[in-house]
Amino acid sequence: MVVCANLLLPYVLVLISSSSPPNGDPTTQRLPTLLTVRVNVPPLQSVGTDGNKGKTFAWADKADVTSSMEVIKYYAGWADKITGQTLETTEKKMIYTRHEPLGVVGQIIPWNFPLLMLTWKVGPALATGNAIVLKPSEFTPLTAIRMCGLIQEAGFPPGVVNVITGYGNTVGAAISSHMKIEKVAFTGSTLVGRKIMEAAAKSNLKDVTLELGGKSPNIIYDDADMEQAVNWAAFGIFWNHGQACCAGSRIFVQEGIYDEFLKRFTEKSRAIRVGDPFETGIDQGPQVSQQQYDRIMEYIDSGKKEGATVHLGGDRHGTEGYFINPTIFTETKPDMKIVKEEIFGPVGVVIKFKDEDDVIRQANETVYGLASAVFTQNINRALDTAHRLHAGTAWINCVNQLHGNVPFGGCKQSGIGRELGEYALAHYSHIKAVHINLGHQM
């Protein structure tokens, strides 16, 4: 670690740690208390929903807040463990490597998980000793602002974590093209990811990591546990109103169980409760904005026009607000927009397949490669399928399982690099090799 990292180390270590602070610095005792206490009172969960986002209060509490704590704890543990190597060459030389912070890094996060995405970004950046300029989505700025308050109250040095609110074409563009920002990390659409790469290339060739869109396949083999497959499939596509980059939006079901699965899946989907996200028992709130609502409805209309069958839903819920009923399409074709493109809403397609080779071909027939899932009780088939799928993550008999110590990211047009785990740390430092001459003479 270098000087910058050493200065930040006491603060990072106690970001959520309950142990005594390094060097007895009293300011470092405050943030763990603030986060562990305030995370368990309604205001922080409310900010986790970010008011205008529509996320249900229950899920903000159960998933976003809890997982965010896990991520920061994980990276706090890494802060004093990032070391270089001593390398042997000859007896007349000593060589060692050191991990140096990049300096100022830019981070741009989306609106679908405003608290969780913030922790995914700042955790590894702080653990490696960088300063941060972060832009939250213009739809959900409150979470980042509230977290800034907690970071400041805990005593972090001024200027370490900086949040700038605004639009992508102004603030996001400025971060991507700034000559003194050495890296930009972005989570969002593939379209915007291209613009960020272009801006980075045209400016100072800053390092870029991208976690982008997906059209994830969820494969249900005929020997799967039917009840579990149905439950997980519904969770895979309708969790967070379908507004998840890893949503299992293409559900492939083997022909022998297709009819029974579709029947049970329909019953499960029909039981999803849509309504006020702050009400107890509600599973799905409104979509984030008029723009997103219109976009999803356009995809639904496209599916109807192209000849797909609306098996369930396909319309708005109620008479006002951005509510959309859980929607299932069947009888689709591979070239339909609802099969090919990321919808980012509560819309899934159920597709029949014949055998393993057939489903692998269909599943990989996409420009995306973020996540995938396989349901079967045959472990050999499960592993074989997982290995053949072109995706950064393969879940077996589960979906949407994310952990702070496990890398997450995609291949193809789903992104570059990895979030989470030890792998994310490599994106926030550069390696310097130091050669020491102990005997070579010229």
* Comparison of pLDDT for 114 and 20, the residue scoring more: 114
Determine the Cα–Cα distance for residues 289 and 278; give it in Å rounded to an integer: 17
Q: Which of 245, 246, 342, 419 is catalytic?
A: 245
Determine the Cα–Cα distance for residues 242 and 331; give it in Å rounded to an integer: 21
Residue 340's pLDDT band, with cuts at 50, 70 and 90, is very high
Determine the Cα–Cα distance for residues 302 and 296; give it in Å rounded to an integer: 10
Sheet holding 161-163, edge to edge: 161-163, 131-135, 104-108, 183-187, 207-211, 415-416
**Closest residue by Cα to residue 332 from 388, 262, 284, 267:** 262
* Comparison of pLDDT for 70 and 194, the residue scoring more: 194
pLDDT on residue 60: 85
Q: Is 70 one of the catalytic residues?
A: no
Is the confidence at residue 18, as pLDDT, over 70? no
pLDDT on residue 65: 85
User: pTM above the 0.85 mark?
Assistant: yes
* Lowest mean pLDDT, pick from 79-93, 358-372, 376-390: 79-93
Element (H, E) at 24: none
Is the confidence at residue 3, as pLDDT, over 80? no
pLDDT on residue 54: 82
Q: What are phi and psi of 260, to 5 degrees?
A: -65, -40
Is the confidence at residue 293, as pLDDT, over 80? yes
Is the confidence at residue 275, as pLDDT, over 50? yes
pLDDT on residue 59: 84
Determine the Cα–Cα distance for residues 345 and 196; give it in Å rounded to an integer: 24
324-338 pLDDT, tens digit per residue, is 999 999 999 999 999
Determine the Cα–Cα distance for residues 153 and 339; give it in Å rounded to an integer: 48
The residue-averaged pLDDT of 369-383 equals 98
pLDDT on residue 55: 87
**Closest residue by Cα to residue 279 from 336, 223, 323, 337:** 323
Q: Is 211 one of the catalytic residues?
A: yes
* Lowest mean pLDDT, pick from 150-154, 176-180, 395-399, 416-420: 150-154
Is the confidence at residue 424, as pLDDT, over 90? yes
The residue-averaged pLDDT of 270-290 equals 94
* Lowest mean pLDDT, pick from 8-17, 149-158, 366-375, 422-431: 8-17
The residue-averaged pLDDT of 16-28 equals 39
Residue with tokens 């100022």: 104
pLDDT on residue 47: 53
pLDDT on residue 38: 53
Q: Which of 100, 182, 211, 342 is catalytic?
A: 211
pLDDT on residue 382: 98
Over the chain, what is the mean pLDDT?
Answer: 89
- Asked whether the beta carbons of 265 and 233 are under 8 A apart, the reply is yes
Is the confidence at residue 7, as pLDDT, over 70? no
Is the confidence at residue 117, as pLDDT, over 80? yes
Determine the Cα–Cα distance for residues 75 and 123; give it in Å rounded to an integer: 5
Residue type, 212: L
The residue-averaged pLDDT of 352-377 equals 98
pLDDT on residue 150: 85
131-157 per-residue burial string, b: 16 or more CB within 10 A, e: under 16:
bbbbbbbebbbbbbebbbebbeebbbe
pLDDT on residue 12: 46
37-48 per-residue burial string, b: 16 or more CB within 10 A, e: under 16:
eebeeeebbbbb
- Asked whether the beta carbons of 293 and 243 are under 8 A apart, the reply is no
